[in-house]
Structure 1
Amino acid sequence: MSKTIVITGAGVGLGRALARRFANEGDHVVLLGRTFSKIKDAADDIGDRALAVKCDVGSPDSVREAFAEIAKTHKTIDVLINNAALFEPFKIADATDDQILNAVITNLAGPMLCVREALPLMVKGSHIINVTSESVDMHFPHLSVYQSTKAGVERFSKSMHQELEGDGIRVTNIRAGQMFEEGKTWDVDPEARKAFGMAAIAAGINLLERPISQFESATDVFRAVIDLPADLHVAAMNLHARSA
């Protein structure tokens, strides 16, 4: 049966790959993103089963407006995938106010705001998937804020599982590993990127030598989790890239 799947951060990368996969398999997808042109282009490329809705997940008003817009077209939401996040390496001593606050609001408060607004449209059998990062348990330098926000989302996932289990709504946390696709760029200050790479090498992590997977490969896992039989639940999954 066709599902209605809402995906945040769906203009690029994993979010776009998920939207394309689900729509191609007969589901209806709602692509949320801050930059409307990106999600509109992605939705147009996917076709009639895709709807683009502008949404800054870090803004309560924007999230409210986005889900009100979704409700005009879809009476219920079967799956919410909280995928949107800011990834910017920096040392906390050098961080600006905006770097800290934007990451915390987008990465941690964003999923909370989206879950709050999605719940009135969710019914028994619906599913929330929160995307976090393998870096939570790794000794990456310059990622203290990013890692902390993702760790917070993992705690939020556990709390939501407990809070929503009685309503028949499943909550799954998926840790994503390093992924790539042709044409994707990393919009980070070149100096910050260089400092991150050098600090990682000093910590024993060579970013250029780590295995990397494709976004399309990761969609298999999300598909399997969403299609679980009603009497099964996966609380958490860890994805890591490996050399093919």
Structure 2
Amino acid sequence: MAKTIVITGAGDGLGRALSRRFATDGDTVILLGRTLAKIEAVAAEIGAPHFAIECDVANPDSVRAAFAVIAARHPKIDVLINNAAVYEPFTLAEVTDAQIATQININLAGPIYCAREALPLLRGGGQIINVSSETASLKMPMLWLYGGTKTALELMSDMWARELTPEGVRVTIVQAGMMMDETKTGSAWAPEVSMRFGVENAKAGINLRERPISHYNSAASAFRALIDTPADLHIPFVALRGHRAA
């Protein structure tokens, strides 16, 4: 049965791949993102009935406004995928106020705002999927704040799952490893930051050059399986990692 799926951070990367996949499968996709041009481009590509709404997940008023538009068109949704996130490497000594606020507000507060506003539309059979990161368990140097926000998201997800079970809402954590597609040509970080990040990880025994990378489309297949899980089965946690085919 076709589902109505809300995806944050839908204009690029995994969010875009998920939007394309679910639209192809016949679901209705609602794309949320800070940069309207990006999500409108994806919505135009996949066509009606899918639509884009500008939404800054770090801003509770923006989230409220976005879900008011959604509720007016779809009083019931089946899935919320909290995918929007930002990450940037830095040390404790050099991190700025803006960097701290940005990561905490987008990566941690954002899923809370979105889940809170989506809850009335999800009750009675909905699903929340919170996208985490392998950095929550791998503890990569210089990504301590990103990993910290994802660790907190995982803990919250476990507690939401217990809290929302009586309301018929399942909560799943997807802890994702490194992934990309053909449009991702490299890091936006300054070259010296990227180099230092690689060196510090190598010191910790993490060789970034040797870590396998999966394709966004492959990850989308895993999300498809999660969303199609029968209602009497709950999968609380999934870890996705790149794999080198033989």
> 2:211 aligned with 1:214, yes or no?
no
State the Cα deviation string for residues 126-160 of structure 1 (Å, max 9, x = none): 00000001111113100110000000000110111
Residue pairs, 1:163-178, within 5 angstroms = 163-178=163-178
Deviations 1:29-60 (A, max 9, x none): 01111011111111111111321110110001
Structure 1: which 4+ aligned runs deviate by more than 6 Å?
Answer: none
**2: distance between equivalents of 1:74 and 1:242?**
38
1:10-89 maps to which residues of 2 (within 5 A)?
A: 10-89=10-89
Q: Determine whether 1:241 maps to 2:242.
A: yes
In 2, Cα distance between the equivalents of 1:209 and 1:35? 33
Q: Write the distance in 2 (CA, Å) between the matches of 1:10 and 1:123.
A: 23
> 1:177: how far off?
0.7
Distance 2:26 2:49 in 1: 8
Paired AA for residue 15 in structure 1 = G
Q: Which residue of 2 aligns with 1:109?
A: 109
- Structure 2 gaps of 5+ residues are none
Task: Measure, in 2, the Cα distance between the counterparts of 1:129 and 1:107.
Answer: 14
Partner of 1:154 in structure 2? Answer: 154
Q: Does the Cα contact within 8 Å between 1:27 and 1:49 map onto a contact in 2?
A: no
The residue matched to 1:93 in structure 2 has which SS? coil
Spell out, residue by residue over 1:95-137, the C-alpha distance to the aligned partner (whole angstroms, 9 max, x if none). 0001111101110010000001101111211000000011111
Is this contact kept in 2: 1:127–1:171, CA < 8 A? yes
Contact 2:139 2:147 in 1 (8 A): no
The 2-side partners of 1:18 and 1:49 are apart by 16
Amino acid at match of 1:115: A
How many residues matched? 244
Q: SS state of the match for residue 238, structure 1? A: strand
Distance 1:171 1:140 in 2: 26
Moved more, 116-125 or 170-179: 116-125
Q: Which moved more, 1:210-219 or 1:119-128?
A: 119-128
Contact 2:128 2:169 in 1 (8 A): yes
3-state SS, counterpart of residue 157 of structure 1 = helix
* Structure 2 Cα separation of the partners of residues 20 and 12 of structure 1: 11
Q: Is the 8 A contact 1:127 1:170 kept in 2?
A: yes
Range with greater deviation from structure 2 (177-186 or 81-90): 177-186
Per-residue displacement from partner, 1:181-227 (whole Å, max 9, x unpaired)?
01125322332222111211222222122110000001111111111
Corresponding position: 1:225 with 2:226: yes
Aligned-partner Cα distance in 1 for 2:162–2:154 = 13
Q: How far apart in 2 are the matches of 1:44 and 1:197?
A: 38
The AA in structure 2 aligned to 1:137 is S
CA distance in 2, matches of 1:186, 1:47: 30
Asked if 1:142 is matched to 2:147, the reply is no
Say if 1:139 and 1:203, in contact at 8 Å, map to a contact too.
Answer: no
Normalised by the length of structure 2, the TM-score is 0.97
Residue identity opposite 2:210 in structure 1: E
Return 182-191 or 24-33, whichever deviates more.
Answer: 182-191
Distance 1:187 1:48 in 2: 32
Structure 1's unaligned 5+ residue stretches are none
* CA root-mean-square deviation: 1.0
The offset of 1:72, in angstroms, is 2.1
CA distance in 2, matches of 1:224, 1:90: 36
TM-score normalised according to structure 1 size = 0.97
Identity over the aligned pairs, expressed in percent? 53
